[in-house]
Amino acid sequence: MAFSVSFVCTGNICRSPMAESVFRARVDEAGLDGLVRVDSAGTDGWHEGDGADPRTVSVLTAAGYESDHVARRFEASWFSRLDLVIALDSGHLRALRRLAPTAADADKVRLLRSYDPAAAASVDLDVPDPYYGDDEGFETCLRMVEAASEGLLDAVREASERRAA
């Protein structure tokens, strides 16, 4: 059974689809594409059915990532099929843990930047929402996502190996 990771931000049009695209690329590069399933969602349904924000698509394309995305809202029932739920900021972390049906499900929720060794000691592990800013905010978001993706990949690889053993 594949190890399942879902990235969650507010509307599922900026940060979480960016994290999904970057992490999927890391999973593919590591040869784990059949062993790890990656998706994303939003805590709110404002943009359900929409594509990713054009600035997200632009930043991803310029960096060589694929972006084929349709926004959706995270549902509590998904916890049963997910191994990790990766929140992009502390507000999402709190909302997702409240939504979790069980304590074990709440334990599946982690902040993305907690996987970035350079950021792990920081007081602020949020990936700031670039939506209301300029293109630089999307570039900053991408750098933060990329920095955390390697640590997350290591954690997922380790968890997958423990499960297989």
- Does residue 9 have an active-site annotation? yes
Per the annotation, the verdict on 126 as an active-site residue is no
Q: Which of 33, 44, 50, 129 is catalytic?
A: 129
Catalytic residue among 15, 24, 55, 113: 15
Residue in 123, 109, 99, 127 with CA at minimum distance from that of residue 17:
127
User: Does residue 124 carry a catalytic annotation?
Assistant: no
Name the active-site residue from 9, 83, 110, 116.
9
Q: Would you please indicate which residues are annotated as catalytic (active-site) residues?
A: 9, 15, 129
